[in-house]
Amino acid sequence: MLIVQKYGGSSVADAQCIKRVASRITKNKNEGHEIVVVVSAMGDTTDYLVDLVNEVTENPGEREMDMLLSTGEQVSIALLAMAVKDLGFDSISMTGAQAGIYTDSVHTKARIKEIQCDRLRDELAMGKIIIVAGFQGLNHSGDITTLGRGGSDTTAVALAIALDADICEIFTDVDGVYTADPRIVSEAVKLDTISYDEMLELAHLGAQVLHPRSVELAKINNIPLHVRSSFNLNSGTIVKEVDNMEQAVVVTGIAHDLNVARISLFDVPDKPGIAWKVFQALAEAHINVDMIIQSAMEDNINDISFTIGASDLSIALNLMDSIKNDVGFSRYTWDDSIAKVSIVGAGMATNPGVAARMFGALAKNNINLDMISTSEIKISCTINNNQAVEAVNALHKEFNLDKN
């Protein structure tokens, strides 16, 4: 079998961890499998590099940001390849570029366009264990790009697809995908399986355990993912296509996201093309907009509020300054002390009253709702970020997720 495995930052946090991963990989190799491993930067290296940037400049520029952040993974691939060789196995480390991973040019949020696998296949044919740097690629101008925070998961899934792997395993610091982040909900329960659609929503809504794009790629290519712990041998969670008929529960999981900011525009003229101008400007800057609310029009003016990732806030505010006169709004406000909490479940589509239950549970805990958005399989609302933990726990109880 050809196995692609991904080990996250906490799984390779120090020398001891790296040796443990090396021994796990070589055991799989000894069982007769071909192994391609994707690794993240060690521990909190990427956070440390971001902090360093903030000490140096307010305007790092995205190309240089990628140049810097991609270095973390280069350290871990080399060390892991050395540890694997030490155990008597042939191994080779490769950067994203060396592995043939080509992306578009959207620095810090690049998307993989193609993987040229020839070198990978040659090295595999020579019996080597290949260790690839996650999270990075090369654009067609030859510059290093990164795939967005948490992007190593996406590298692994993309490689599994390109190499037509038999299994794609995502090793992390928890036993699998839980009904909520086990770090903040002690009663969270591990799920044995979850559908691509539900996992995609959870990942988009802040469940850090998988990078959203990795789930998207897995779904499109119908490749199951096994999310499991690198610290034990327990089987984890399989992310796969699940028939809707099997959806017995209304709510499968709760997600929360603290990386959210809201911008509100006041006195926006009520005429065609105005919303287009605002959101086109954001789209051109590659800023993802999540919730949008336009208040009831009065005297031919509206108020428009929308949420974006908190890390995009300063760029978005500059943009608002630059389009203010053209769009014609009188002023804007912003708030980055908000959090988004969401309930996700495919069973929701056919069960009425779920929103009422959600809002009731939050009200009982004195949690005020700000913006609300819904889709067939999720309901999200923004609240004050210091009530996020309380909100997630309240919702977990309300939907009996501890009794799975």
Residues that bind Mg ion (CB under 5 A): 8, 150
Query: Measured from the CB atom, is 135 or 332 closer to ligand ASP?
Result: 135
Q: How far is the CB of 240 from ligand ASP (least distance, A)?
A: 22
Task: Please name which of 199, 157, 152 lies closest in space to residue 179, comparing C-alpha atoms.
Answer: 199
Burial code of 274-305, b = ≥16 C-beta within 10 A, e = fewer?
A: bbeebeebbeeeebebbbeeeeeeeeeebbbb
Binding mask 212-251 for ligand ADP (x = CB under 6 A): ----------------------------------------
Distances in Å between the Cα of 273 and the Cα atoms of 121, 161, 270, 293, 329 are 51, 41, 9, 16, 13
Q: Is 137 in the site for ligand ASP (CB under 6 A)?
A: no
- Quick one: 42 or 161, whose CB is closer to ligand ASP? 42
Residue 90 vs residues 8, 17, 35, 160, 367: alpha-carbon distances, Å = 22, 20, 11, 21, 56
Using CB under 6 A as the binding rule, whether residue 399 contacts ligand ADP is answered as no
> Residue 348, SS3?
helix
Could you say which of 3, 8, 45, 83 contacts ligand ADP (CB under 6 A)?
8
Encoded tokens for 402? 């501890």
Contact 104, 111 (CB under 8 A): yes
Position among 7, 9, 29, 329 found at the interface with ligand ASP (CB under 6 A)? 9
Tell me if 10 contacts ligand ADP by CB under 6 A.
yes
Which CB, 68 or 327, lies closer to ligand ASP?
68
Stretch that binds ligand ASP, among 21-29, 60-68, 143-151, 325-333 (CB under 6 A): 143-151
Considering only 27-35, 157-165, 173-181, 305-313, which stretch makes contact with ligand ADP by CB under 6 A?
A: 173-181
Rounded to whole angstroms, the Cα distance separating 324 from 317 reads 10
Task: For residue 355, count CB atoms less than 10 angstroms from its CB and return exposed for 0-12, middle for 13-18, buried for 19 or more.
Answer: middle
Which residue's Cβ has the minimum distance to ligand ADP? 8
CB burial string 52-77: b at 16+ within 10 A, e below: ebeeeeeebebbebbbbbbbbbbebb
Number of residues in the chain: 404
| Stretch binding ligand ASP (CB under 6 A), from 145-153, 242-250, 271-279, 344-352 | 145-153
Convert residues 38-57 into a mask of x (bound to ligand ADP by CB under 6 A) and - (unbound): --x-----------------
Q: Position 359: which residue type?
A: F
Cβ atoms of 239 and 177 closer than 8 Å: yes
Residue 97 binding result from ligand ADP, Mg ion, ligand ASP, none, given CB thresholds of 5 to 8 Å by partner type: none
Q: Rule CB under 6 A: is residue 5 a binding residue for ligand ASP?
A: no
Taking the C-alpha atoms of residue 375 and residue 292, their distance in angstroms, rounded to an integer, is: 13
Residues 21-80 touching ligand ASP, rule: CB under 6 A, are: 40-41, 46, 72
Report the residue number, 11 or 393, with the smaller CB distance to ligand ADP: 11
The residue nearest Mg ion at its CB is 150
Binding site for ligand ADP (CB under 6 A): 8-11, 40, 150, 172-174, 177-178, 180-183, 207-209, 253
Binding site for ligand ASP (CB under 6 A): 8-9, 40-41, 46, 72, 134-135, 149-152
